[in-house]
Chains A and B, each alone.
Chain A
Amino acid sequence: MEKNQPYPLDELRRMITRLEIYRQSGDARRISSGMEPVDRLLGGGFSPGSLVEWFDPCEGAAAATLALAAARNACADGGALVVFDRRGEFYPVEAVRWGIDPRRLIVVQATARKDIAWAACEVLRSPAVGAMLAWAGRIDGRDFRRMQLAAEQGGGLGLLIRPEKTRGDPSWAEVRLTAEPLSSDGQRRRLRVRLLRARGVGGEHTVDVEIDEQTCRLYSVAQLARPAALARAARAS
Chain B
Amino acid sequence: MLHENARGAARVVACSAEAARAGIDAGMTLAEASVLVDEALLHVEPHDPTADRRALETLAAECEPFSPTVGLESTDRPECLFLEATSVSRLFGGEAALVERIADDLARRGLRFQIAMADTLGAAWACCGAIASRNRATKAATTIIPPGKTAEALAPLPVEALRLPPSVVGLLGALGIDRIGPLMGLPRDELASRFGPELLRRLHQTLGQIDEPIRSHRPEAAVAAEHVFEHPTAHRAALENNLRRLIDQVAAEVASRRHGITRLVCELVFERIESASLARAKAVGPLRLEVGLYRASTSAKDIFELATMQLERHWLTSPVATIRVAAVETVPLEYRQTELFTDSAHQDARRLAQLIDRLSGRLGRAAVLGARLAADSQPELAYGYRPLVDGPVKQRNASATAAAAADRALPPRPFLLLPRPVALRPTPSGPNGLPGHVEDRGHVHRVVRALGPERIETGWWRGQSIGRDYYRVETSRGHWLWLFRRLRDGQWFLHGRFQ
Contact = CB atoms under 8 A, between A and B. Distances in A.
Contact of B408 (A79, A88, A109, A216): A216
Interface residues of B, number: 59
B383 A91 contact: yes
A94 B414 contact: yes
A56 B477 CA distance: 13
B413 interface: yes
Given A103-B392, A184-B474, A97 B359 contact: no
A237 B481 CA distance: 30
B380 to A, nearest CB: 9
A213 to B, nearest CB: 4
Given A106-B369, A128-B351, A129-B355, A91 B363 contact: no
Contacts of B480: 60, 62, 189
Contacts of A58: 477-479
Interface string A10-34: 0000000000000000000000000
Given A181-B477, A181-B479, A189-B480, A93 B368 contact: no
Contact of A97 (B351, B388, B405): B405
Contacts, number: 162
B478 A181 contact: yes
Contacts of A96: 371, 373, 401, 404-405
Contacts of A169: none
Interface stretch (B7-15, B61-69, B121-129, B491-499): B491-499
Interface in A182-218: 182-184, 186-187, 189, 213-216
Most A Cβ at <10 Å: residue of B355, B372, B406, B451: B355
Contacts of A90: 415-417
A103 B395 contact: yes
Contact of B413 (A56, A89, A91, A107): A91
A61 B405 CA distance: 24
Which range contains the number of A residues in contact with the other chain?
Answer: 35 or more
Most A Cβ at <10 Å: residue of B352, B371, B481, B499: B499
19 contacts: A60-B440, A61-B479, A78-B348, A79-B348, A91-B496, A93-B379, A97-B408, A99-B406, A102-B393, A102-B405, A103-B392, A106-B369, A107-B370, A108-B367, A115-B362, A119-B363, A128-B351, A181-B478, A183-B478
Interface of A: 56, 58-65, 68, 78-80, 87-97, 99-110, 115, 118-119, 122-123, 126-129, 180-184, 186-187, 189, 213-216
Given A102-B401, A184-B478, 8 more contacts: A89-B418, A90-B415, A90-B417, A97-B413, A122-B358, A129-B352, A181-B479, A214-B408
